[in-house]
Structure formats: C-alpha cells, structure tokens
Amino acid sequence: MAVTARSRVRTVAALALSLTASMAMGLVAVAPAQAVEEPPRPAFYEAPATLPANNGDVIRSEKMTFLLDPLDTSSLVKQSWRIMYKSTNRAGKAIAVTGTVLVPNSPWVGLGTRPVIGYAPGTQGMADRCAPSRVYSELVEYESIGIEPLLARGYAVAVPDYEGLGTAGIHTYMDRVSQGRATLDVVRAAQRLTGTGLSSSSRVGLQGYSQGGGAAASAAELASTYAPELKIKGAVVGAVPADLQKVAENLDGSLFAAFGFFAVRGITASYGLDSALSMFLNEKGVQALQDVEQDCVFNLFDSAFTKSTELTQDGRSLAEIMKEVPFSMLVSDQQIGNIKPSVPVLVTHSRLDDTIPFAVGKAMAKSWCQKGANVRFSSNIVPTHLGGMVPHVAESLPYWEARFAGLPQFGNCWTL
C-alpha cells in the first residue's frame, strides 16, 4: 500500500514527538535500525554474547600481518595487533568495537614512557570489509600516510574501526558520540593490551582528519567526562565536518556525494529513524541508501555526482529534508564545537578544501575559543580535501614533540 503524504506527515510527527521525549530523558533510540543483509565476516569480528564490564577492556586480540608483507618482516620494526574491545555507543548500549594497535620495536628515547596516539581514521566506507583492521591485511590503507610518521617518531598508535564497521550492525557514520567514545576506548584498550609496554600512565594524543577529524575532535570534547583518567596532552584535528548540514549541502552532486549518503544512512540508523526517512525516498533513493551500506571508499565513483533530488519523492534534496523535524534534531546533535576541550587543540584546514568547507572548520575553532579552549587554528592553501591532509600530517609531528616534551601551546584565537 502506498504511503500517502498525510499519513507520512502523521508518522514522522509522531516519531518527532517520541524522539524529543526520548532525548529529554536521555534515551535516544526510538526504533530499531533496519540493516540490509551483511556478508559473512571473519570469526574474529563476531562479538561474544557477554561483554566485559569496563569500557576499553580487551575482548580478544591477535597478531596482524600486512598484505604487502607476507613474510611479516614489518615485525622487525613494529608489532601489530588486531583487537576487539568494549565501548558504549551514543544510546548507552555496550558494544564491541574492533581496531588496531601498532607499537615500534625500537625503545622510546623521549621523556617519560612511550606515548600512544589515538588515531581516528578518515572515511573508509560503510561495509564491514572496509574496517581499517581488515584493510591493513587485505588492501593498502591510505591512513598509513599519517600513521607511519608517528611510528617512526617512536609513538604507539591505536586505531578504532568505529561502531558497526567490521562488526555486526550498521556503521553509525558521523555519529559524534559513538565515534568519540570508540576513539577514547581504543586508547584504553591499547594501554591494557599485554605486550605493548603501554600502561594507564602512558601519555596520550588524539589525531584525525576528515571523518577522523570529527572523531578526534569529539573525543577531545568528551574526554574529561567519559575518560577522565587518560593523560591526554593534546589533539590534532583536520578538516573537521563539524556542521553536517553545511557539509551535506556541499557534498550533494559532487565527486564525494557518497560521503553524504554514508552520513544520512549512518545517522538515521543510529537514531532508529531510517524507516522514517525511507518514506521521503523514491524507489531509486531507497535502493541507493541500501547500496551504500555495502560500499567502501574505493567504491566512490558508484555514487559520484549523484544529486539527491533524484532520490526523493518530491524532488527536494536530502539536505532540505534533513532540516525538518525529527531529522533536524539528529543533525543538530552532531554539531562539534559546543563543548570546550580540556586539552590544547591544533585545528588544520585548507582554504581550498572541496569537500568540508573551510568555514565549517573555522567556525568550530572559533566556538571553542569563545568557550576558553586553548586552540591554534592553522590554514593552508593546498588544493582539495585530499591535498589538505599533507600539511595536516606535517604539522602534527612538531606539535606532538612539543606536547610530549611538556611545552605549552600558544593559541591564536585572536586571529579568528
């Protein structure tokens, strides 16, 4: 039976009231997310029926090898573990998340003991096969561009896969709280993993670019309340998608249109409103949002230059629909910049970013500054979103040397 416009409005209005009441009471899921059938995953990624009590507790671990290193010669310079650990998602549900821990074999020669960087990865996709902890062994992981220089400096690196990426369920792409918690908990897990040489006294850094920039920025905001015991010395965040509404408008019909579809799919699923959204979609739109759930970043061209107006029943864009209640509340809830980070933050962003508008990153940094945070905002003119990662990585290295040497950051909020 076709859904009439009137019944659709009534249903969405009821969901809006339910969502509003749920958020007011601290409850945030109003309906179960509907997922497409997932392909079989390796046994390692199947969570046990009972999870440990504490966030960051290691559920299981195994040594990793790399696709380009079948003889495991990389173990001469670093040890690598694939891990599963306990976290808590946005709705307060205990979940199992997978990730990667990398530790150099060379002794730490800096002050104190070896620090660990919670390295939040950028967009990998939605499918379980996209999880970084799998890609390291099955494909080339582009985040090695940022991770390898950190390892070369002697830092340990802990990389989360995020909720539903690798494990069962929908990847809650761009869910601010879920991603931030998964990033903090992978650091806890690295500190508790046997054989790393790390401990609860290890100093911590947070770093990420693009989706990872959002996750690391969120982790910096949440750390003082969610993981106050972590000795976090700072965060480096680049091209942060801090305002999803503006990012979605920019992505629509672009080369990176799939990123917008990932966000719509991931966020509405996280709040249990994917079924409500489907009432606004035409047959092509329903299929498109189902298809992206099995896409990785290398499937980018499958959705490239697709305009979301072609996917809706009334010809409005998804960005316009997401301005309506209840979806607008979901988007607003993902805003980064509303909570003061308690650690120094370096924010990088290219003025020529073609994916995450420069103004979005600058506005987030300015909002943090207005709350009294220690922020240094660094802009550059390297073309494109991908190009902006190069100066981001380059600036992170002296930043970490200064922070772990105990030197203060001199912010530049006065320039914003």
Q: Quick one: pLDDT at residue 14? A: 45
Q: Quick one: pLDDT at residue 258? A: 93
CATH number assigned to the domain covering 5-30+244-332: 1.10.260.130
Given this chain, do its domains 5-30+244-332 and 43-243+335-415 carry the same CATH topology? no
Domain boundaries, the chain: 5-30+244-332, 43-243+335-415
Q: Quick one: pLDDT at residue 55? A: 98
Q: Quick one: pLDDT at residue 77? A: 74
Q: Quick one: pLDDT at residue 69? A: 65
Q: Quick one: pLDDT at residue 72? A: 67
Q: Quick one: pLDDT at residue 139? A: 74
Q: Quick one: pLDDT at residue 62? A: 96
Q: Quick one: pLDDT at residue 74? A: 73
43-243+335-415 belongs to which homologous superfamily?
Alpha/Beta hydrolase fold, catalytic domain (3.40.50.1820)
**Whole-angstrom distance, CA of residue 327 vs CA of residue 86:** 29
Return the sign of the alpha-carbon dihedral for residues 334, 339, 341, 346: positive
Mean pLDDT by 10 residues, the chain (416 residues): 46 46 40 59 96 98 78 75 97 97 93 96 95 86 91 96 96 97 98 97 98 98 98 98 96 94 93 90 93 90 92 95 91 97 98 97 98 98 97 98 97 97
Q: Quick one: pLDDT at residue 40? A: 85
pTM over 0.85: yes
Q: Quick one: pLDDT at residue 11? A: 46
